[in-house]
Each structure stands twice: as C-alpha cells, then as structure tokens.
Amino acid sequence: MKIGLKLWSSNDFYIDLALSLFEDGIFNYIELFIEPDSLAFIDKWRSVGIPFVLHAPHSLSELNPADADCEVRNFELIQQVDEYRKALDPKYIIFHPGVDGDIKETIRQFCGIRSRFAGIHKCMLVENKPLKGLNGERCIGFAPAEIERITHACDIGICLDFGHALAAANSLGVPSEIILEEFRWQDPAIYHLSDGDVSAEIDSHWNLGRGSYPIAEFIDTLPEDASITLETAKAEKDNLDDFINDTKYIGRLIK
C-alpha cells in the first residue's frame, strides 16, 4: 500500500517536514491541491523530489465543469494545473465533476480537456462526490452510474473517495456496501480516506479514529498495491503530527 500526504499548493511551510517524513518512509507521495492563481509556488514544489499526484481546483475554488457559464474561468484554472503538471510530472490529476449543473456539460468540458490539454487527459481521474455539498449544492457524480458515464465518455479513470460514497449512500437511503462495491467494479486508480460520522450526508475529513467510519473494512477491501491519500485535518503549521498519527492508525490495521 502507498500512502499519500494531502497538501495545498500554498503549503510551502510543510515542505521540509514532508521531506523528512518521506525519507523516513512514512508516506510515498504528495497529493497537491492546486489553488487558483498559485503559480508562484511551482518552483518550490519542483525542488522537492517526491512523487506527486495533483488535485485540480473544484467548485469551492472556482472550477465547476457542470456549469457552462464557468467555462472560461475553468480553462484558465486548468491551464494553471497544466503548468504544475509540466513541472511535477504527476502520476494522476484528479478532478471533481461539478455542482448544480448538468452531467452533459461536465462531459463536454472534460472532453474539452482531452482536446486542449492532452498531457492532463493522459493521467486524468474523476472523483465521486456526495449528493449534498458543503453549502447545500447538489453534486454531480454522487452515483456510481454517473461516474461510469463520465469515465466512459471521456476515457478517464476514477478516484474513489470512501467518505463521499458513504455520504451519498446516506442521502439515497441505500446500504453503503452497495455503492462502494459498484465503485470498486470501476477499478479505481487511487483512493481518498478520512474519518467522519457514518450516518451523515456531508463528509467531514476527520482524523482516523475520531469518527465512526468503518476504516478497517475500507482497508480490507483495498488491493495490496493501492495508493490511498489521507485527506485528514492538520491542526498545526509547524508539524505534521496529525498525519503521522493517521499513518500509525493504518499501520495498526494492516498488522
């Protein structure tokens, strides 16, 4: 299993800490969320020498591929993601499918990425979402059938977020095992893991062991070579102790 450390592109204050943990074998890659208009940080990340996965901005950061009115800004932000791609050579680039719009529009814009940014398309993944967003928005891609429709139409892969799948199952009133199994059939390339309230319709990204998610069951279903990004909270800027504790939690489950 490969463990990923989730950071934001402006989090340069974590670089030295991350390098030390990487050298100690605590994690295997950084998943870097590309904040809008953060190109000034590229050179700092380029010098890190750790494998990368990138996460494109999402609707809370101005990129909403489900809305045609957002297309111009969307592609400005995707151009910025491409600059990070050129600098960091990521294995994957993860996109959210958008909110309060139409899946047909998401597919149209994602196919536009294929034609305009071939380098991104080659490593592009779509992430499943809850039905309800943090601000009450309705998310595209909460159901396995929607994600499958996007991946087939756009010829891209999938990132399976366990917390998002549980939240969607609660909104739909169906057992989470059914939704998770349908997502697993789509052969996810990478996984997102956090803890939270197992009965909630909105995910909360708590540290592992602080919620009621069946983390052990999630881990048991992963392939041996799975890449799993820990999307958990970090309370301090001068240490990564929360992340270290999360990796220890997983280590205990694996043993």
Count CA atoms within 13 Å of residue 153 on its CB side: 19
Count the neighbouring beta carbons within 10 Å of the beta carbon of residue 238: 8
- The per-residue pLDDT for range 196-251, each reduced to its tens digit, is 999 999 988 999 999 999 999 999 999 999 999 999 999 999 999 999 999 999 99
**pLDDT score at 39:** 98
Count the neighbouring beta carbons within 10 Å of the beta carbon of residue 237: 10
Q: How confident is the model at residue 77 (pLDDT cuts 50, 70, 90)?
A: very high
pLDDT reading at 254 higher than 90 = no
d(CA 85, CA 30): 13
Rounded to the nearest 5°, which phi and psi values hold at 35? -75, 145
Q: What is the mean pLDDT of residues 121-145?
A: 96
- The per-residue pLDDT for range 115-127, each reduced to its tens digit, is 999 999 999 999 9
- Residue-wise DSSP of 92-161: -EEE---BSS-HHHHHHHHHHHHHH-HHHHTTEEEE---SB-TTSPBBS--SHHHHHHHHHHHT-EEEEE
pLDDT reading at 255 higher than 80 = no
Of 246, 194, 60, the closest CA to residue 135 belongs to 60
**Cα angle 165-183-85, degrees, rounded to a multiple of 5:** 90
Q: What is the mean pLDDT of residues 18-47?
A: 97
What is the share, in percent, of the chain residues with pLDDT greater than 90? 96
Topology (CATH level 3) of domain 2-254: TIM Barrel (3.20.20)
d(CA 193, CA 26): 16
Sequence ranges of the domains in the chain: 2-254
Torsion 164-248-206-126 (CA) sign: negative
pLDDT reading at 163 higher than 90 = yes
C-alpha 179 chain-centroid distance:
18
Q: How confident is the model at residue 136 (pLDDT cuts 50, 70, 90)?
A: confident
Q: What is the mean pLDDT of residues 159-166?
A: 98
Residue matched to tokens 């958008």 = 98
Angle between helices 103-116 and 144-154 (to 10 degrees): 30
**pLDDT score at 55:** 98
8 Å CB contact between 240 and 5:
yes
DSSP state of 30: E
d(CA 4, CA 31): 6
**pLDDT score at 216:** 96
Q: What is the largest CA-CA distance in the chain?
A: 50
Count CA atoms within 13 Å of residue 57 on its CB side: 26
**pLDDT score at 92:** 98
Q: What is the mean pLDDT of residues 3-28?
A: 97
